Amino acid sequence: MSIAEVSPLYFLAQSRSLVEVARALADVRLPPGEKFTFCQAPISSTDLVALTALHGFARDYAASGFVGFPRVRLAEPCSESGVTARHVLELEGLHKVCEAYLWLASRFPTAFLDVDAAQEARQEVAARIAESLRRPLAMSEDDASCTGGGLFALDDDLADD
C-alpha cells in the first residue's frame, strides 16, 4: 500500500533558472528568505536587462532597505518605414523591468516605494508596444544610430550596472 499517489502530470519544476538568478545575486548580502524571494522574481536568467535591474533592486534593498523606481524616458523610433523588431524587443525588456519591480513591491511593500511610477511606466510601455504592433515592421535594424543605442533610458544607477 502506498501512502500517496501522484499523477504523472505533476513533476518538480526545473530549478536551473532560479540557480542562475541566485548566482547573479551572489554578491548581494541579504537574509536567505529575502534573497530567495528576489530569486523568485518573474524574470528569465537569460534576460540581461531584467537581470541587471533585479541586481540593482536587490543591491539597493540590501544597502538601505528602500528601492526606488528609475525614471523612464522613452524615445520615439526613428524609422519612417515602420517599427523594427529591435524596438519592440527593447520595449518588452523595459516592460519586464516594470513587472519585476511591481512583483517585488507586492512582496516588500514598505521597501519598494515607487509603485505608482512603475505602474505608470508599465502602462506607457504597454501602450507603446500595442502601438508598435499596429505599425508595419521595418526591414532594417539600423535604428541604433538615431536613438543613441537604445529606445529608453533608466535615469538611476541601474543604467550603470
This prediction has a pTM of 0.78
Q: What is the pLDDT of residue 72?
A: 82
Cell of 80: 519612417
| Residue listed under C-alpha cell 536567505 | 32
For residue 67, which of 137, 159, 141, 158 has the smallest C-alpha distance? 158
Q: What is the pLDDT of residue 10?
A: 76
Q: What is the pLDDT of residue 1?
A: 52
Please state, in angstroms and as integers, the Cα–Cα distance from residue 105 to each residue in 41, 42, 145, following that order: 11, 12, 36
The rounded average pLDDT for each run of 10 residues, N- to C-terminus, in the chain (161 residues) is 72 80 96 96 93 97 96 72 81 95 98 96 94 78 48 55 49
Q: What is the pLDDT of residue 75?
A: 73
Q: What is the pLDDT of residue 91?
A: 92
Please, what is the end-to-end C-alpha distance for the chain in angstroms? 56
Nearby residues of 53 by Cβ (< 8 Å), 6 or more positions away: 97, 100, 101, 154, 158
